[in-house]
A = this chain, B = another copy of it.
Amino acid sequence: MNTNEKIERIRQLMKEKNIAAVIVPSDDPHGSEYVAEHWQARKWLTGFSGSAGTAVITQKDAKLWADFRYYIQAESQIQNSLFELFKMGEPKVPTFQKWLKDTLKPGDAIGLDGSLFSAANIKKFKSAFKTKDISLDTNINFIDDLWVDRQELPKSQAFSFSVKYAGKTRVEKIQEIREKMISLGASYHLMAKLDDIAWTLNLRGDDVHTNPVNISYLLIEPEKINLFINAKKVDQNLEDELKKDGVQLFDYSNIYSSLSTIDKKETILIDPENTNFKLYSSVNKENKIIEKPNPAIGLKAIKNDTEIEHLYDTAVKDGIAVVNFLYWMEQQTAADKVTEVSSADKLSEFRKAQDDFVDDSFDPIMAYQDHSAMCHYSASKETDVVIGDSGLFLSDTGGNYLTGTTDITRTISRGVPLKEEIKDYTLVLKGHMAVAFSLFPQSAKGYQIDALARQYLWNEGMDFGHGTGHGVGFFLCVHEGPARISPFPVDIKLKKGMLLTNEPGVYREGKYGIRLENMILVEEAFENEFGTFLKFDNMTYCHFENDLIDKTLLTQKEIDWVNDYHTMVYEKVSPGLEAAVAEWLKKKTIPL
């Protein structure tokens, strides 16, 4: 079936079921950032392979919404089909919700698969469409019927994540979650997000690209803990270990029926942002549902002492890998034909040489010159270029180690840097430092910190179109909630033990991009008459580029910060380097 045939088949099914429009999103039933191939229905339907986008089909139209990262790719991938692109974010381009509301008639029904939308989103849809008397049928899964060559569900082996890394046993974690459940008045708690489940049960797997998680659901009952997972993924040893800790296994597909048979007296804690609508609506109407964030999210975000100790080691290991890579890059000339893609392989090699390394924590972003100006660029065979002897090169990469997850961005100059490049690099670094050495009251939220990173750019008429930082998991997802440092106001205080990134940047279209990213850990600084103050500690050890820094733009405090940081980087990283590399690093970290 080609795309137009798929559209035609869906339209037939729509007629049979009296559905005026079908929405096909890019999501899985777990609200994952990265979606396993099995659930890439929007890609199967449209041919567009980007990570985000929404397809909508009516009898008259076939529309695809994609964001600025994918305008070109989407146009090209749908060009031989009936699909038409809506460029999200461009002026006057409606959201798919708005378009549906404008296009459909009162009395029409929209069909979708409720397992692919959060309960919170369906609630919003319903109330938005209700005003035009448009209904929602959340049990429409035409694609399940039509998609015959569909990939199976991922079935990587699950494994126990040792308490020597995790710092807390699953029994302790469940105890903490149960305490929160009790304080919220809940006897049951359903978890659907894969990293929350992985953290809670000290389980890891390899079901989702670069995310060491297992496709599963977790239902905590007053006396029992039920894990819904493909039985084949759990070997006997692990099953025994889980049973000892009170965790029983059920088949992955049984979650819906289990929810519907909970005793009607029970009260169930469900996080509507992180639970799909089909799960939510499988609960009996008689059960009381408490809609609150999953307690595991807040607990997971606060790294414990064992995790923190490992993170300091991991910073050294990852620092050694990245410094080795930057040294190696400096040896390569255009004649060596290193490309964006091959450089990524090389850095992965350096990471693999480190203890406890498991996998990249996300697809590496290696971007040369104008490619680095696209802040979400990812090199492919089609776009790959040789890294030449001039211009800027940006690498944004990370590793998943048993001892923690890393995320680091460095920008280097392949030749003698231009004046504009030096000024931009210095301004980005000033913003990076303003965050790095900030003190802030314990009431502060990430959106209050964000402008500290932007102020020097703003004052020169520049800005960057992404957040300053995001939370990071521990041998888990590189993007982890709930805290972030961003202009978007998330009502979450920065708390001692939270691990975040600090990654301001600047992007000059068609020319270059600069981004400087360290991980930072929230620590307590001191308490005084004004209250408790927090600070960040650097959790990334890798030098910045002195030749891209204009010292005259720095305050003495900033100069001292760079020099102290470089001294620390050399002390921590050089013992793990070969002599030639250590010597090179010594030069790279000479005081300004």
A236 contacts the other chain (Cβ, under 8 Å)? Answer: no
A27 contacts the other chain (Cβ, under 8 Å)? Answer: no
CB contacts (< 8 Å) of A443 on chain B: these are 487
Tell me, rounded to whole Å, the shortest Cβ–Cβ distance linking A485 to chain B: 11
Q: Which has the most chain B C-beta neighbours within 10 Å: A449, A489, A509?
A: A489
A256 contacts the other chain (Cβ, under 8 Å)? Answer: no
A297 contacts the other chain (Cβ, under 8 Å)? Answer: no
Q: Which has the most chain B C-beta neighbours within 10 Å: A449, A460, A461?
A: A461
Contact B439 A459, beta carbon cutoff 8 Å: yes
Tell me, rounded to whole Å, the shortest Cβ–Cβ distance linking A410 to chain B: 23
A529 contacts the other chain (Cβ, under 8 Å)? Answer: yes
Tell me, rounded to whole Å, the shortest Cβ–Cβ distance linking A128 to chain B: 14
A555 contacts the other chain (Cβ, under 8 Å)? Answer: yes
Of B434, B459, B528, B529, the residue contacting A455 (CB under 8 A) is: B434
A440→B457 CA distance, assembly (Å): 9
Within 8 A of B (CB), among A278-316: none
Interface string of A536-552 (1 = CB under 8 A from B): 00000000000000000
Contact B438 A459, beta carbon cutoff 8 Å: yes
User: Interface size on A (CB < 8 Å)?
Assistant: 35
A188 contacts the other chain (Cβ, under 8 Å)? Answer: no
A448→B488 CA distance, assembly (Å): 9
A437→B437 CA distance, assembly (Å): 22
Is chain A's interface secondary structure helix, strand, loop, or mixed overall? Answer: mixed
Contact A438 B455, beta carbon cutoff 8 Å: yes
A444→B489 CA distance, assembly (Å): 12
Contact B452 A440, beta carbon cutoff 8 Å: no
Of B439, B463, B487, the residue contacting A458 (CB under 8 A) is: B439
CB contacts (< 8 Å) of A434 on chain B: these are 455
A449→B452 CA distance, assembly (Å): 9
CB contacts (< 8 Å) of A509 on chain B: these are 529
A450 contacts the other chain (Cβ, under 8 Å)? Answer: yes
Closest residue on chain B to residue A462 by CB atoms? B530
Closest residue on chain B to residue A460 by CB atoms? B439
Closest residue on chain B to residue A533 by CB atoms? B461
CB contacts (< 8 Å) of A444 on chain B: these are 451, 487
Contact B448 A487, beta carbon cutoff 8 Å: yes
A167 contacts the other chain (Cβ, under 8 Å)? Answer: no
Contact B455 A441, beta carbon cutoff 8 Å: no
A99 contacts the other chain (Cβ, under 8 Å)? Answer: no
Within 8 A of B (CB), among A444-484: 444-445, 447-452, 455, 458-463
Given contacts A438-B459, A461-B526, 9 further A-B contacts (CB under 8 A): A439-B460, A444-B451, A445-B487, A447-B448, A449-B451, A452-B455, A461-B525, A461-B528, A461-B530
